[in-house]
Structures are given as C-alpha cells and as structure tokens.
C-alpha cells in the first residue's frame, strides 16, 4: 500500500500557510523600512533635506504609500495561488480543516490558468486509476510489443464485461451528467432526453445533496445508501439496491456509482413488513375503541362502583394501554425497517417529555403494586426531542422496570446534567440480568428464556427505544446484575450543541444523524 508522503511530515501541511503569511508580511515591512532608510540617507547626503524639508517629508510619505500599495498587490498575486495550492494539499493529505477545498471548475481558476494545477493535484492523489486506462495498459503489456491492440477495442471489451455484471455501474462527470451506464443500472430519460438514476431516495438524503456537500468539504469521499427502491410499493418490477457512491474531486469521472441488486434479499422482508403493518393497523382501531369504552364506563360508573370494581377497571385500562403500546411498537418497527419514520426535533425539556406519560406511568405502577419515585431537578439544560417518540422511550423503560421488579418493589427515575448531555436514568431493584442477556438486549425480537417464561412482551420495545434515542443523536446503555436489578441510562445532547445541525435540516433529524456515527444510521435498514 502506497504511503502518502504528505502524512509522514513532522509538521502538518496546513501549518505552512500561517508561517508563510507571517514571514511574507515581516519581509515586506523590513524591506519597506530599509528602502525608507536608504532613501532618507541618500536625500540627506545630497542636501535635499536642508534645502526643502517639506519636500523631503512628502517624498518619504509618497514612497511609503506607493511601496505599500505595490507590496500588497504583489503579495496577493503571489500568495493567493499559494493559499489555494496549500488548501488543496491539506485536503489531499487528509488533515482536518474548516476551509473548503478549491474547486477547479470555478471561473477564476480557468481564467488565471490554475485549473490544471488543481486537477493534477487531485488526480495524483487518487489511489484509484481509470479502469479503462489500466485495462488498456495491462492488455498491451500482456500481448507484447509484436501485437497491437487499440484503445477502442479495450474499451468495448470492458464495457461489454460491465454490461454482463449483475451490479450496475454509473459514471458522472463534473457537470453531474451521466457519461457511462451499464445495462443493469436503473435509468430514466426525461422529455429532453437527459438520463438520470431511476431510484427513490429520501428527500433529504440523495446523491445530489451529498455531492453538493462533498464539493464544499472533501476531495475524496464514499457513501452507501442501503435498501433503495426504484419504484413505489405495489408497482410492478420493483427492485431494491444498495447504492455505493465514490467521489473524486476535479476528475473527469468525478462520481462513480455502484448499484448492487438486493431484491432477492429485501423482497421477502417487504412481504413480512406488509403483513406486520397491516395486522398492527387493523388491531389499532379496535384497541382504541376498547380503551375509550373503558374510560367512559369508568367515569360514568365511578359513583356506584365499589373499590374492588374500580380496581378492576384500572387494571383493564392498564392492560389496554399496554396492548396499545405493543401495537405502536410493531408499527414503529415496520416504519423503521422501511425507513419511513420521520421525527421533528424541537427544543424542550425532559420534564416536559415525562409530563406526557406521567399519569399513565403512575397508574401502571400503582396497579402493579410498585413504588414509582420520579426526581427531575429544575434548571436542567433543554434538549432537542420529538416529544411523542421520546415519551415512548421513557415509557418503555419505566414499564420494563415495573414488569421486572418484585411485588412492592421501588422504581427510581432521575435526570441529571452531564457536560453537553442530559441523562435520563431508570433504576429498579428487581430480577436483573446476566451479562449474556445484556449483550443481546437491544436486538429486534430478542427475549431471554427467563423473560419469555415470566413476562409477556414482543422483544421490540428496547430495539425501538435504542433507534429513537440514537436518532436524537444520543445513546442508551444499561447496567445490570443478576438478582439485584437494572439501571438504564439515556444520554441526550443538549439543545445548544445540536441547534445548528437542526436548523440546517429544518429541525428534522437527518442532518444530526448524518453527522454522527449513530447506530441507526449504520443499521442496514435505516433511512432518514
């Protein structure tokens, strides 16, 4: 593997520009002073100062002004190309910087002749050679000097080979125009005859939006979009692709896209998701009606019911709410796996989020004979949250603590500020979990052998909770000891630390997630 010589230097490339700039300014000032001293000495020796002191002073001032102007002009003419050159080298070297790499396609670089310099730097820095050129060289060396093979024939061979491949290949130039596409690539043609990819991306996460970001921030970059369909549900010939895009700034083939057909893997899952979503949706209506009747009857009969009968209604309400929660989890799982779940993050507090589930949690705890203690300090920093989704997370954790606690057990809920994060902590003193269970706890549909025997559930509550939390840019962790209880910790970034990212994404979580290394972003089912 070739080593980038720029990275082996003891000093960073980006450190050169400040030193060069300071050195150039010092040299200009020193030269100006030397010229002034020499001029003053010459004029004094010639007697000009004695004869005309005002003229002497005016001469020195005029020379100083002209010298400064000339120096500034020369400095900009010489130093500005140096600055762009070093900026390009900084990005090629992979050093962290806030300065956007110079774009060789800008008009000013074409006018001053600097475009080919930048293109050469970017081209030399690329570790990937042009496959057609490489194939031609390999073929020529293999057949020897006696035989001749022309470049067009090699291109046709490679093109034919790519057309026979299962994967699709698309190459776009600097103007975002398709210059090559293999037969397996899904394409569409508009009324003007312009080709484009026939894929359905999330509106906020397309190849074009990512390309625009790369043009401002990167020289080389790569990104993968899993499970991208070419048609809407229920349309014929629907296919699913894993899309891999590679960006090389300033090259003729600036964007190379590989499309891996995963239809045979994803279409089975689509049928399952269709059934899950349909079943959950059909169950949701009757459960909502049942919950409504229970609430109405409980209120209407409150004056005539005895205490044991009232307790029965409370238990019915808790069971109906729990069943409704199961259905919501199933629906959310389907949405996550299909990448259809959207979140709107707004500034709020953990206390405000908990207020949305406070009554329900109190009822669940009392009906199960558990002691629920909630302590949320005043003055905690605000967070960015989708209140309904995050409330579901808080409710899941408290409900789990209730279910896995012993009769009369205590559940403690706390919140605290920790640096740039606000922590939500749920602790119980129940049955706890061994390490083997903890390591698999957030997998979809996972339930330990003991929990399946003792507690009803679907095994997707924590899967959804982790997805929601990390879609907020946070994290969720657990500490547990078998027979001693468990503690779940949700860590959420404060609003001030993510406000800029949210504004860039219109308060959706797409910008926040794309800039973080979150679990849900890297999950093979995630999209937006």
> What average pLDDT values come out for the chain (528 residues) when binned by 10 residues?
44 62 76 78 72 73 77 69 72 68 74 71 58 48 48 67 84 91 88 86 80 86 87 78 91 91 75 63 74 79 82 78 67 56 80 89 86 92 88 89 86 93 92 80 62 54 82 88 89 88 60 43 33
- Sort residue 374 into left (φ over 0), alpha (ψ -120 to 50) or beta: beta
- Closest to 99 in 3D by CA, of 76, 83, 77: 83
Give 202's DSSP letter: B
For 209-215, the CB contacts below 8 A with 24+ separation are 210/245, 211/176, 211/245, 211/247, 211/255, 214/247, 214/249, 215/103, 215/249
| pTM of structure | 0.45
Give the CA diameter of the chain: 121
Q: Where are the beta strands (DSSP E) in 174-316?
A: 178-181, 187-189, 195-197, 220-229, 240-248, 255-261
Please list, in sequence order, all residues whose beta carbon lies within 8 angstroms of the beta carbon of residue 498, skipping any fewer than 6 positions away.
Answer: 345, 384, 473, 512
Tokens matching residue 152: 């067009």
Do 223 and 210 meet the contact criterion of CB atoms below 8 Å apart?
Answer: yes
CATH superfamily, region 151-261: PAS domain (3.30.450.20)
- Cα separation, 192 vs 492, whole angstroms: 49
In degrees rounded to 5, what are phi and psi of residue 218?
Answer: -140, 160
- Exposure string of 395-421, with b = 16+ CB inside 10 Å and e = fewer, is bbbbbbbbbbbeeebbbbbbbeeeeeb
Q: What integer pLDDT is reported at residue 49 of this predicted model?
A: 64
- Closest to 333 in 3D by CA, of 445, 186, 499: 445
How far is CA 395 from its chain centroid?
Answer: 27
Q: What integer pLDDT is reported at residue 127 of this predicted model?
A: 47
Helix, strand, coil shares of the chain, percent, nearest 5, are 55, 15, 30
- Cα separation, 167 vs 201, whole angstroms: 19
Tokens matching residue 502: 């949210």
- Exposure string of 16-45, with b = 16+ CB inside 10 Å and e = fewer, is ebeeeeeebeeebeeebeeeeeebbeebee
Classify residue 370 as exposed, middle or buried by CB count within 10 Å of its CB (0-12, 13-18, 19+): buried
Side by side, the strands of the sheet bearing 371-375 are 371-375, 410-418, 421-428, 485-493, 475-481
- The residue with tokens 């405000």 is 352
Q: Regarding the domain delimited by 339-522, which CATH topology (the fold level of the hierarchy) does it fall under?
A: Heat Shock Protein 90 (3.30.565)
3-class state of residue 7 by DSSP: helix
Q: What integer pLDDT is reported at residue 203 of this predicted model?
A: 61
């Amino acid at each position: 593997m070739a080593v980038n010589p720029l990275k082996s230097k003891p000093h960073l490339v980006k450190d050169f520009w400040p030193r060069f700039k300071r050195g150039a300014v010092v040299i200009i000032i020193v030269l100006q002073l030397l010229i002034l001293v020499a001029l003053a000495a010459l004029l004094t020796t010639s007697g000009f100062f004695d004869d005309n002191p005002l003229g002497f002073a005016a001469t020195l001032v005029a020379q100083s002004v002209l010298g400064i102007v000339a120096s500034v002009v020369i400095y900009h003419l010489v130093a500005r190309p140096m600055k762009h050159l070093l900026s390009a080298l900084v990005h090629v070297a992979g050093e962290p910087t806030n300065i956007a790499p110079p774009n060789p396609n800008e008009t000013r670089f074409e006018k001053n002749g600097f475009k080919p310099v930048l293109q050469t730097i970017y081209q030399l820095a690329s570790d990937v050679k042009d496959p057609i050129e490489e194939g031609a060289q390999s073929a020529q060396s293999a057949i020897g000097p006696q035989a001749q093979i022309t470049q067009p024939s090699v291109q046709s061979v490679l093109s034919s080979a790519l057309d026979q491949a299962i994967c699709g290949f698309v190459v776009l130039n600097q103007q975002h125009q398709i210059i090559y596409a293999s037969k397996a690539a899904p394409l569409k043609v508009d009324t003007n005859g312009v080709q484009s990819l026939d894929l359905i991306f999330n509106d906020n996460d397309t190849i074009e939006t990512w390309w625009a970001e790369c043009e401002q921030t990167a020289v080389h970059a790569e990104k993968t979009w899993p499970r991208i369909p070419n048609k809407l549900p229920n349309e014929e010939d629907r296919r699913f692709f894993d899309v891999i895009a590679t960006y090389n700034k300033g090259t003729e083939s600036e964007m190379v896209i590989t499309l891996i057909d995963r239809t045979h893997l994803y279409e089975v899952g689509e049928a399952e998701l269709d059934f899950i979503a349909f079943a959950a949706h059909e169950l949701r209506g009757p459960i909502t009606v049942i919950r409504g009747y229970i609430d109405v009857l409980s209120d209407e009969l409150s004056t005539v019911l005895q205490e044991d009968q009232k307790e029965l209604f409370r238990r019915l309400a808790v069971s109906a709410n729990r069943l409704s929660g199961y259905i919501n989890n199933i629906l959310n799982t389907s949405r996550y796996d299909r990448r259809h779940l959207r979140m709107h993050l707004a500034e709020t507090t953990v206390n405000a989020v908990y207020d949305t589930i406070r009554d329900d949690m109190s009822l669940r705890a009392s009906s199960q004979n558990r002691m629920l203690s909630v302590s949320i300090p005043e003055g905690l920093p605000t967070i960015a949250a989708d209140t309904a989704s995050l409330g579901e997370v808080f409710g899941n954790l408290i409900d789990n603590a209730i279910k896995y606690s012993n009769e009369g057990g205590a559940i403690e809920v706390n919140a605290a500020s920790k640096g740039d994060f606000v922590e939500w902590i749920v602790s119980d003193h129940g049955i706890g979990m061994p390490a083997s269970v903890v390591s698999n706890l957030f997998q979809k549909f996972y339930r330990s052998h003991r929990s399946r025997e003792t507690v009803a559930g679907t095994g997707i509550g924590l899967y959804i909770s982790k997805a929601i939390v990390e879609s907020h840019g946070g994290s969720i962790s657990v500490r547990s000891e078998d027979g001693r209880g468990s503690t779940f910790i949700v860590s959420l970034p404060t609003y001030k630390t993510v406000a800029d990212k949210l504004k860039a994404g219109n308060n959706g979580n797409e910008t926040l997630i794309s800039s973080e290394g979150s679990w849900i972003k890297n999950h093979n089912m995630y999209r937006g």
